[in-house]
Amino acid sequence: MTMPEAASRPPRRTYLSGPSLACDLTWILWVALKPEWRDNHPLASQILGQRDDVVDRIRTFWADVGPGICFTEVQILAHHAGALGETSPTALWAALESAVPTVPTDLALESESAEDRAVFLQRLERLKSSPTLVRSYLDLLREVWDLVDAVWQAARPRLEDAGRRVVRQLEAGRGLGELVGENCEAFMSWLPDINARIESGQPLLVVPCLFFGKSLYLEFPGLTLVGAGFERNDAEARARTEALARRLKTLADPTRLALLHYLAVTPSTVGDLATGFGLAQPTVSVHAKSLRESGLVRAERQDGRLRLRADPEALENLLEELRGVVVQAGAEVTAADESPLQAPVRR
């Protein structure tokens, strides 16, 4: 390969994934600061509702430095320590403490507003100047996380699985907005910048969160972090399963399923299929139209003839969605049964 050829190659997209104790912790802290969000986050609300004393300490800890603003400095410290993917509380507390003396306080934090960025950097300055404040800060984080650790650790395997699924779908060409933030206007407004960074070669870390809201976006030096929550309201869940059910209904017909199986191996015309399966050509055309409308089969014109072929990416996405609905739901029930806290019933 010549040097000009190497220089012209586009940067490789790098997708990473995994649960993050620091991210879910900051969301618990954020919900504590926003009582009006309690109804939309019943699991976090139930946990926090048991300890009003802890909630009061969360609300007053930074009373003199940006009160009422989320605890994003936790994630800044975790990133600086290389611990954004840490899942052990003990290891995270040690990492945060070790990061305080050397964390930069002139970070660009391009995902944050100028006002919020100034608050977070001022908090870091305060922590750097006071070992006593650091101890109090870590004590608060420990006490908050102790309330949720059992629930979060039980859910960790499904969070890991969800992260892997998202990465596979991103690598298969699905859009980040479609997978994470299409229901969040703020995230969609940032999406062009996020995609530009990914295209330039900046790694993307996808964090599936148990307690989180719609989406999270943080820009760190050398890393873009995007998070998505797993609490879904009934309308969103129904819309998701209805779309999946329509595609499964297409495959419920044994003839269509047989045609799809054949097309996964042998691209064919409608006429070829009619001959091979002993069916009338109009009958095959109806089945083929249904498979194409479901996105499972695509048509390509070759030598003047329209050939049908199964779309392997669409089939893989269908299997991933089915796994997410059935297997993930089963894991949620198991985690809830094993947890000392029961998920609230939604009516």
Unique residue bearing structure tokens 């102790």: 146
Structure tokens at 41: 């986050």
Are the beta carbons of 159 and 209 closer than 8 angstroms? yes
- For the stretch 52-89, pLDDT in tens is 899 899 999 998 888 778 899 999 999 999 999 999 99
With a pLDDT cut of 70, the percent of the chain lying above it is 85
Least confident of 114-123, 129-138, 155-164: 155-164
Mean pLDDT of 268-296: 93
Distances (CA, A) of 140 to 133, 160, 312: 11, 27, 49
Q: 9 pLDDT exceeds 70?
A: no
d(C-alpha 280, C-alpha 267), whole Å? 19
What does the domain layout of the chain look like in residue ranges? 7-231, 237-310
d(C-alpha 318, C-alpha 163), whole Å? 17
- For the stretch 292-305, pLDDT in tens is 988 899 998 888 88
Structure confidence at residue 238 (pLDDT): 54
Least Cα distance to 27 among 40, 44, 43 occurs for 44
Q: 319 pLDDT exceeds 80?
A: yes
Structure confidence at residue 240 (pLDDT): 58
Structure confidence at residue 208 (pLDDT): 92
Q: Which fold has domain 237-310?
A: Arc Repressor Mutant, subunit A (1.10.10)
Are the beta carbons of 225 and 75 closer than 8 angstroms? yes
Q: Helix H segments across the chain?
A: 3-8, 21-33, 42-49, 52-61, 73-80, 89-99, 114-129, 131-171, 176, 185-199, 234-251, 254-265, 270-277, 281-293, 312-338
Q: 5 pLDDT exceeds 60?
A: no
CA 340 to chain centre: 26
Output the pTM of the full model: 0.66
